[in-house]
Chains A and B, each alone.
Chain A
Amino acid sequence: MALHDDLLDALRTVANVHLVARLVDERLGCPDPDDLRVFVPDLHLVSDAVRRRYSYNTNHTDLLADVLYQIAALRSRRGTDQTLSVYQLGDCFDLWREEPLPDRRTDAADRVFDSHERLMEVMLSRGVKTRFLLGNHDIDLHRWPNYRAWSRRYYIQPKQAAQPTLLALHGDVFDWIENLLPDEVQQLVVYVTHPMLEGSDYDLGDMVKVVARGHEGADYSKRIQGNASVGPVQALDGAPLPESFNVKRFGGSKKSTQHFAAARDLAKDLRRRHAGLDLRCIVIGHTHNARIVVPKSDGDDFFALVDCGAWIETCSAKVGSKTVRMPNAQLGVIGENDVRIYQLAPKGTA
């Protein structure tokens, strides 16, 4: 049985699973059925004390821990030639809601960790080996040794690929590209894509300042990104899945194709700068809006933006003929030239 089927079986032992979107395309550049990458988008974890102050919070943390334990078990059973890797796409912690004073955020991170011990233990376990990205809500973590391995980008070179074909980013860089003055953007994009610049570099101070500015005046009392509309979702009831499902075309609604042009241009620039690099897919979180976006027409240069959604706030989805609002609880999965986004819910719920 293919690794993706094994993963799906494992997910279904602990969750009801719906398909949010699917794209099968050999140009994704990850052909090997024994190489699967799982992406966990924004969690925005806060401590128990802070959680009580908000009307919205991280959804289904126990379910996510259960999912990760299933993945750990699957990883322990897998063959030596199989890869099953987990990436958290940034904003794992929400230090902006947790602690207003930057210098106190290391204690804040520990508080958050302690409030979510089961989840964090399995995420950090050697069984899962989660790789973390820094997001705009937890960028301050780069200052402390325990988080120094958290990065701003991961290029992924799947088996059978001669070069990396996927790039995972938090996605906040595309806010800057779309909203800041060109000079400022040019400087900041360096911090995300330059091979030798990491969260630890002192001149990241400029980026941290821009991130801080982005939070200034933001009112997180009721929302961060707000409700997302994901369109139709399909229950996984054993029926064959369509090869293309709920894939958005660039040029459609602005909200559902947000950041596509900036991501496509970034990939194009990286391909130009690095000989042999055939980067055709960028994976992000940040917007809390799960979707897969491709170019306007099949004749255009192929590129896919995969936004894996979130585990906070809500989305509206069409289930059959009804529109249902559900807590965001999504995973992105890529392998065998097949990218899917799943929506999860605890067993016994809708």
Chain B
Amino acid sequence: MKLALSCGPLALVLAACCGVERPTYLAVPEQIFREPVAAPIDLEDAAGWPAARDRLVAFLRAGGNQDNVEDGTIVVLDAATRYAPLLDAVARPENRDVEDLAAGVYAPWLAGPPVRHVVDARDEAPGRDRHVLFDGDFAWVFTASRRRLVGLTVVRRHDWRREE
């Protein structure tokens, strides 16, 4: 069993590096699979970040399902420690230029290059302000304004990552 569980990260690395189709667009899922469920987290609101971060961790721990958040149902047991370095990086203003997404600032945790096509039925019309990186079952949707990353929504992916 020890060996079995230690194989997990290796499997993830393999999944991230080879043999997996890169998604070309993101379909934004239903409300219960989004955090926040409505407008993106305001990344420029430093005072609001700790609470937003706590909600994000709870959502990730719940496997990206708000129903699970509600009643303590957990899918990603170690979400708090697993995502701590990524969330620390997101919190730093120097990491929030749009160029940072393609430059590999988030590469240790999120797969790129960023996807720009986002289908969200709540939009009035297609937009170009979102940049999406991927992490297993989650898509990290950054919203940009004047080349700065100003918002973040994390959603559970609904696509199945097929072997090429």
Contact = CB atoms under 8 A, between A and B. Distances in A.
Given A148-B158, A195-B77, A274-B77, A190 B15 contact: no
Given A148-B160, A193-B5, A202-B163, A131 B72 contact: no
A196 B73 contact: no
Nearest to B12: A196
Contacts of A286: none
Contact of B136 (A131, A155, A156, A201): A201
Given A203-B14, A203-B15, A131 B67 contact: yes
A190 B7 CA distance: 7
A337 interface: no
A296 interface: no
B74 A200 contact: no
Contact of B75 (A143, A151, A158, A159): A151
Given A153-B75, A203-B15, A198 B137 contact: yes
Interface in B33-73: 33, 63-65, 67-68, 70-73
Interface in A133-163: 142-145, 148-149, 151, 153-159, 161
Interface of B: 1-5, 7-8, 11-12, 14-15, 19-20, 27, 29, 33, 63-65, 67-68, 70-79, 82, 136-137, 156-163
B137 A157 contact: no
A202 B19 contact: yes
A148 B139 CA distance: 14
Contact of B67 (A129, A143, A198, A266): A129
Main secondary structure, interface of B, reads mixed
Main secondary structure, interface of A, reads mixed
* Nearest 6 pairs of A and B residues by beta carbon: A186-B4, A157-B72, A194-B8, A145-B158, A155-B74, A269-B1
B65 A149 contact: yes
A228 B76 CA distance: 34
A186 B7 contact: yes
A131 B73 contact: yes
Contacts of B77: 155, 164, 195, 274, 277
Contacts of B65: 131, 149
Instruction: Report the contact-size class of chain A (Cβ under 8 Å from the partner).
Output: 35 or more
Contacts of A155: 73-75, 77
A197 B72 contact: no
Nearest to A192: B4
Given A129-B67, A156-B73, A196-B12, 15 more contacts: A142-B160, A148-B156, A155-B75, A159-B72, A185-B4, A186-B4, A186-B7, A187-B7, A189-B1, A189-B5, A194-B8, A195-B78, A198-B75, A198-B137, A203-B11
Interface string A154-177: 111111010010000000000000
A161 B72 CA distance: 10
Residue picked from B2, B75, B161, most chain A C-beta under 10 Å: B75
Contacts of A6: none
A261 to B, nearest CB: 13
B15 A201 contact: yes
B82 A196 contact: yes
B118 to A, nearest CB: 16
Nearest to A159: B72
A200 B163 CA distance: 11
Interface string A111-132: 0000000000000000001010
A246 interface: no
B158 A187 contact: no
A187 B4 contact: yes
Nearest to B8: A194
A195 B75 contact: yes
26 contacts: A83-B72, A85-B71, A85-B73, A142-B160, A143-B160, A145-B27, A148-B158, A149-B64, A151-B75, A157-B72, A159-B72, A161-B72, A188-B4, A190-B8, A190-B11, A194-B5, A194-B8, A195-B8, A196-B8, A196-B12, A198-B137, A202-B19, A202-B161, A273-B5, A274-B77, A274-B78
A122 B29 CA distance: 21
Interface string A190-229: 1001111110111101000000000000000000000000
